[in-house]
Amino acid sequence: MLSLIVFLPILAGLVILAVPSSQKQIIRIVSLLAAIVQMVLAVLIWRGYDPSLPGITATAAGIPQGSFQFIERLPWITLDLGGFGPLNIEYFLGVDGISITMVILTALISAIGVLSSWTIQKQVKGYFILYNLLATAMMGCFVALDFFLFYVFWELMLLPMYFLIGIW
């Protein structure tokens, strides 16, 4: 379910890519629908989150700090670093009590952002493709549990932000 929340905006961006640039209203509606579905999925995850259930427990100095739920974990990249041992990079997503709050807020703000961008007339197609890429990257940052995956999402945020700030 977390993968769907993360990558739904990118799917909307791919749909927008197939829509002609002259169809500005359809482009806006596709972005809004993706943001609304993302928000609904985030609320469903929030409702399904149970802080009393044990998950992968984070500890600091041996003291439990909370548990991650809705975990999705797949091996991704394995590199042999010789004497340093293997470097295992995973596609590892999950939420805890803090990140679930950030997921809800990000989904809500993404939907509000689409609505507040409704009157944009300049390069609408490019704007909403970049906006959806940014929504994917933001959501990915909040649910990534592997540092390398977090770094990928963090860097992915920079590209659309650069153009959104610079052009619009």
CA 2 to chain centre: 9
Tens of pLDDT, residues 116-165: 999 999 999 999 999 999 999 999 999 999 999 999 999 999 999 999 99
Tens of pLDDT, residues 69-112: 899 999 988 888 888 888 889 999 999 989 999 999 999 999 99
The runs of H, that is alpha helices, within the chain are 2-18, 24-48, 97-116, 124-143, 147-167
pLDDT band at 66 (very low <50, low <70, confident <90, very high): low
Query: 67 versus 25: which is more confidently predicted?
Result: 25
Q: Which residues pair with 87 in a beta bridge?
A: 79
pLDDT reading at 15 higher than 50: yes
What is the total count of domains within the chain?
1
Predicted confidence at residue 86, as pLDDT, reads 85
Predicted confidence at residue 61, as pLDDT, reads 47
Query: How far is 152 from 24, CA to CA, in rounded Å?
Result: 31
Task: Give the Å distances, CA to CA, from 40 to 31, 35, 92, 103, 109.
Answer: 14, 9, 22, 11, 13
Tens of pLDDT, residues 28-42: 999 999 999 999 999
Range of the domain at 6: 2-167
